[in-house]
Amino acid sequence: MKVQARGQAWAAAMLSAALLSACATPRPVALPGEAVWSGRLALQVDSAPPQSFSAGFDLRGAPAAGELQLVSPLGNTLATVVWTPQSAELRQGGQITRRGSLDELTTELSGTAVPVTALFGWLRGEQGEVPGWQADLTRQAQGRITARRSAPLPTAELRVVFQP
């Protein structure tokens, strides 16, 4: 009986894994010469009330034009942000939110402009100047970045863990 129960448990676990992987969104494939980064990020905004968000991410492109895909722990796409020099849009489910810039879009969504374009440099270990933000890149080689926004209010903290 114990052997049969173990076999059934193993079969159930394998079926569950297969079903979960069937729901997962495939990771993007890098085009030649394109920067692609994956990992996890967390944003905490000290607003009233405080806001926090965390997700897996796939970032591709360049500061001027790119795509940020946010994914759940199971690999499902939560949202995709696409930007060009002319506009930015958030695709979430069947809804699309368009704004004139990436800063305008992230400010509307989180209460603060999130420096997504600066993230490309930070991931490469380049400090870069972002008004109001201070990036701590001392652990960038280990795949960890922390950036804090002190001004303008509200303060915010962005933590990123990625494959260096």
Name the more confident of 139 and 16. Answer: 139
**pLDDT class of 117 with cuts at 50, 70, 90:** confident
pTM for the predicted model, two decimal places: 0.75
Instruction: Encode pLDDT of 4-33 as tens digits.
Output: 443 333 333 333 333 333 334 444 454 556
Instruction: Encode pLDDT of 66-82 as tens digits.
Output: 999 999 988 899 999 99
User: Which residue is associated with the tokens 């052997």?
Assistant: 3
Query: What is residue 114's predicted lDDT score, i.e. its pLDDT?
Result: 84
Instruction: Encode pLDDT of 24-57 as tens digits.
Output: 444 445 455 668 999 999 999 998 899 898 999 9
Task: Give the H or E element holding residue 128.
Answer: none
Mean pLDDT score, 82-107: 93
Task: Give the H or E element holding residue 12.
Answer: helix 2-23
* Domains within the chain, CATH numbers bracketed: 35-162 (2.50.20.10)
Q: How far apart are CA 143 and CA 139, in angstroms?
A: 7
Q: How far apart are CA 76 and CA 92, in angstroms?
A: 12
CA angle 90, 158, 50 (to 5 degrees): 80
* 125 pLDDT higher than 90: yes
**Start-to-end CA span in the chain (Å):** 48
Q: What is the 3-state secondary structure (H, E, C) of 50-119?
A: CEEEEEEEEEEECCCCEEEEEECCCCCEEEEEEECCCCEEEEECCEEEEECCHHHHHHHHHCCCCCHHHH
